[in-house]
Amino acid sequence: MKALRLTNEELGTLCTSLAHLYHAGIGGADALALLAQDEQDRDTRTLLRRMAERADEGVGLGRVFAEEACFPGYLCGLLRVGEQVGRTEQTLQSLGEHYYSRARMDERLRAALLYPAVLLAVMLAVVVVLLVWVLPVFNDVYAQLGSRLTGVAGGLLQLGQALRAAMPVLCAVAGVLVVGLILFSLWPAFGQKLAALWRAWRGDRGVNGRIAVARFLQALAMGMGSGMTQREALELALGLADSEGLARRGRQCLERVEQGDSLAEALRKSEFLAAAQSRVLDAGIRSGQGERVMEQIAVRQLERSEAELENAVARVEPVLVVITCVMVGIILLSVMLPLMHIMTGIG
C-alpha cells in the first residue's frame, strides 16, 4: 500500500474527533475503532483499524501514533506527554485546534499565491498575443503604405518574431505552469510541499517569518499547557522549525534558559517577542497563566500576519493591472501614432 499522507485538516479532524470521544468516556481503542467505522477512505480506514488493534493491546495512544509514519513527530511527542500528565483529552483538543489553524493558513497561502499567479499568466498571455499576432498585422498595413515599423514598435515586432520562433517551448512551459497551478489548487499535499519549499527559501524573513514565529509560540504554549517543563516545551517547539534561521534562534533561546534566564527574557533576547510582549508573558508566568498568555500572544501575532498577508495580496492585483495596461498602451501607441501620421499625410 502506498504511504498515506494526511493533510493538516485531516489531522485536525482526527484529533478533535478523538478528543470528543474521550470526553464522552470512550477509551482510545474503542474511539479509534468507531472512527474507522465512519471513515470513507479505504487507506485511512485501514490505518485507524490497525491503530485500534494496537491500542487494544494496551499500547499508549502516543506510541500508537508514533508507530505510523504518516503522523508528525510533534503530534506524537505532545500526545505522549499529555498521557503522562493525565491530559490526553485536552492535548488532543489543542492539537486539533493547532492543525485546523495550520490548515486555514495553508489555504490562505494557496489563495495568496494562486490568484496573483493566474492574473500574471493572463497578463503575459495578452502581451504575447499582441506581440506575436497583432503587431505583424500592423506591419503588413505599414508595408502596404510604403513604410515599416521602427523605433519601439520595430523592437517589439522583433521580440514578437523571436517569441513566435520559440512558441513550442513557450507552450510547453505554459502547460507545465497550468498543470502546476491545478495541482496547487486541488491537491493540498502538493500545496504543502510548495509552501515548505517557499519557507525554506524565504527563511524567517517577512510575513513568512512572523507566521513561523507565531507557530513556534503556539507549540511552546501547547507544550507548557500539557505539563512539560519550559526546557522540554522549547525542545518540542524546535521540532517545528522549518528554517535554519528560526532553528538557530530557538537554540539560542534554549541555551539562555539553561543559563538561568527567564523564559520571557530568553524569548525577547532571541527576537521571538517584543519587549512589551516579554513583560506581559513574564507577568503571566508569575501568576501561573504562562501557557494561556503565550497562546494569546501567538494568536495575536498570527492574526496580524494573516492581515498583513491579505493586504499584500490586495496590493498585488492593482499593480499587475496597472503594469498590464501600461504595457498594452505602449504597444498600441507605438503602432497607432505613426499610422495616424501616415493617414494624415495621405489625407
Look at residue 245 and tell me whether its pLDDT is greater than 80. no
Look at residue 190 and tell me whether its pLDDT is greater than 70. no
At 234, is the pLDDT very low, low, confident or very high (cuts 50, 70, 90)?
confident
Please give the full DSSP string across 167-232, using - where no structure is assigned. Answer: HHHHHHHHHHHHHHHHHHHH-HHHHHHHHHHHHHHHTT-HHHHHHHHHHHHHHHHHHHHTT--HHH
Res 314: pLDDT? 72
Cell of 159: 521580440
At 199, is the pLDDT very low, low, confident or very high (cuts 50, 70, 90)?
low
CA angle (115 as vertex; 218, 196 as ends), nearest 5: 40
CA angle (124 as vertex; 118, 130 as ends), nearest 5: 140
Q: Distance between CA 332 and CA 130 in Å, rounded?
A: 9
Average pLDDT along the chain? 79
pLDDT tens, residue by residue, 119-145: 777 877 887 887 778 778 777 777 776
Q: Distance between CA 324 and CA 127 in Å, rounded?
A: 8
pLDDT over 70 percentage in the chain: 82
Question: What is the mean predicted confidence (pLDDT) over 52-79?
Answer: 86
Look at residue 183 and tell me whether its pLDDT is greater than 70. no
Res 1: pLDDT? 34
Distance of alpha carbon 99 from the chain centroid: 13
Q: How many CA atoms lie within 13 A of 216 on its CB side?
A: 28
Q: Indicate the domain borders of the chain.
A: 8-71, 97-347
User: Which residue stretches of the chain are H helix?
Assistant: 8-23, 28-38, 42-56, 61-66, 73-84, 88-129, 135-144, 151-165, 167-186, 188-202, 206-225, 230-238, 244-258, 263-269, 275-286, 290-346
CA dihedral in degrees (237, 238, 241, 246; nearest 10)? 110
Q: Distance between CA 280 and CA 264 in Å, rounded?
A: 9
Res 18: pLDDT? 93
Angle between helix 8-23 and 28-38 (nearest 10): 130
| Among 98, 300, 104, 292, CA closest to 210 | 300
- For 41, residues 6+ apart whose C-beta sits below 8 A from its C-beta are none
Res 102: pLDDT? 77
Amino acid at 100: Y
Cell of 18: 478523538
pLDDT tens, residue by residue, 81-105: 778 777 888 889 888 888 887 788 7
The most confident of the ranges 79-93, 167-181, 245-259, 296-310 is 245-259
| Among 36, 29, 76, CA closest to 53 | 29
SS3 289: coil
Res 6: pLDDT? 83
Cell of 162: 523571436
Look at residue 153 and tell me whether its pLDDT is greater than 80. no
Look at residue 2 and tell me whether its pLDDT is greater than 50. no
Res 193: pLDDT? 64
- What residue has cell string 515599423? 149
